């Protein structure tokens, strides 16, 4: 029966957690570890209203539905083919009552949803500014990885609009863009309160950072212990193995 849901140019991939699966294109954009790390960053799993901005294949929303069993999740994605696949993934995992995948441009957020209601906003946004890096040939992958349709300023602005006072915005981004992110989060009244740097190996500099801002908050920034991906080449760290229940 499941094979009938999968097109010849797609694959059905195991998320392991919650025994969930995700439908992906065989060529082009496919989810990476970044999505898994972001979905495990929020500490409050009792949230009820969650919004994901730029949901791609839907992996973050699926994992958050597993981690936060009381949450209703609304996910924005602008690319029609990715919306269609992620909707089928939601159905496949029996989560259609808890996850809504909307085909929507984040830049038009105010026309789509009322502001001030979300307890948690999540995003794994494009990491590369226009003109940076090598743009992928495939349109899906290019939009997912490069700020072609939306930049970090627009993302933080729309996330701040959606958040209720005290609500949290969690993103993952390149560590070298942390200064820019901190300025933007402060500008839109969602000052950063929690950071966690991600290192491929314990002796390498941080490549990525997990960022959490809290709307209208004050106080110090908590810098968490570093998240190390690999103990050695090809061997995940103990923390990564524990995430996957191994």
CATH classification at residue 151: 3.40.50.150
> Could you read off the pLDDT of 26-74 as tens digits, one per residue?
987 889 999 999 999 999 999 999 999 999 999 999 999 999 999 999 9
The pLDDT of residue 130 is above 70:
no
pTM given for the model: 0.92
Residue 215 within a domain:
no
Q: How would residue 85 be classed by pLDDT, with cut points 50, 70 and 90?
A: very high
Residue 14 within a domain:
yes
CA–CA distances in Å: residue 175 to residues 9, 156, 195, 209: 34, 16, 10, 5
pLDDT score, position 244: 84
Instruction: For residue 24, give its domain range.
Output: 2-189
> Could you read off the pLDDT of 155-185 as tens digits, one per residue?
999 999 999 999 999 999 999 999 999 999 9
Residue 202 within a domain:
no
Residue for token pair 């502001």: 115
Domain count, the chain: 1
The pLDDT of residue 104 is above 60:
yes
The pLDDT of residue 132 is above 80:
no
Residue 29 within a domain:
yes
Residue 209 within a domain:
no
Residue 34 within a domain:
yes
């Amino acid at each position: 029966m499941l094979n009938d849901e999968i097109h010849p140019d797609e694959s059905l991939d195991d998320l392991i957690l919650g025994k969930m699966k995700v439908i992906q294109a065989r060529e082009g954009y496919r989810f990476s570890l970044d999505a898994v790390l972001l979905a495990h960053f929020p500490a409050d799993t009792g949230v009820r209203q969650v919004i994901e901005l730029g949901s791609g294949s839907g992996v973050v929303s699926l994992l958050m539905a597993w981690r936060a069993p009381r949450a209703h999740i609304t996910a924005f994605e602008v690319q029609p083919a990715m919306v269609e696949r992620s909707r089928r993934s939601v159905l496949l995992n029996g989560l259609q009552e808890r996850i809504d995948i909307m085909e929507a441009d984040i830049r038009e957020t105010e026309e789509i949803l009322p502001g001030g209601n979300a307890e948690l906003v999540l995003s794994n946004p494009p990491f590369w500014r226009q003109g940076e890096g090598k743009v992928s040939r495939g349109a899906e992958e290019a939009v997912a990885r490069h700020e072609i349709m939306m930049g970090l300023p627009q993302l933080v602005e729309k996330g701040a609009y959606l958040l209720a006072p005290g609500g949290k915005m969690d993103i993952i981004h390149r560590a070298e863009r942390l200064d820019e992110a901190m300025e933007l989060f402060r500008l839109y009244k969602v000052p950063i309160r929690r950071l966690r740097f991600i290192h491929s190996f314990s002796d390498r500099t941080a490549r990525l950072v997990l960022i959490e801002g809290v709307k209208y908050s004050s106080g110090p920034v908590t810098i968490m212990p570093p998240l190390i991906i690999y103990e050695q080449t090809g061997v995940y760290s103990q923390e990564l193995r524990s995430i996957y229940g191994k």
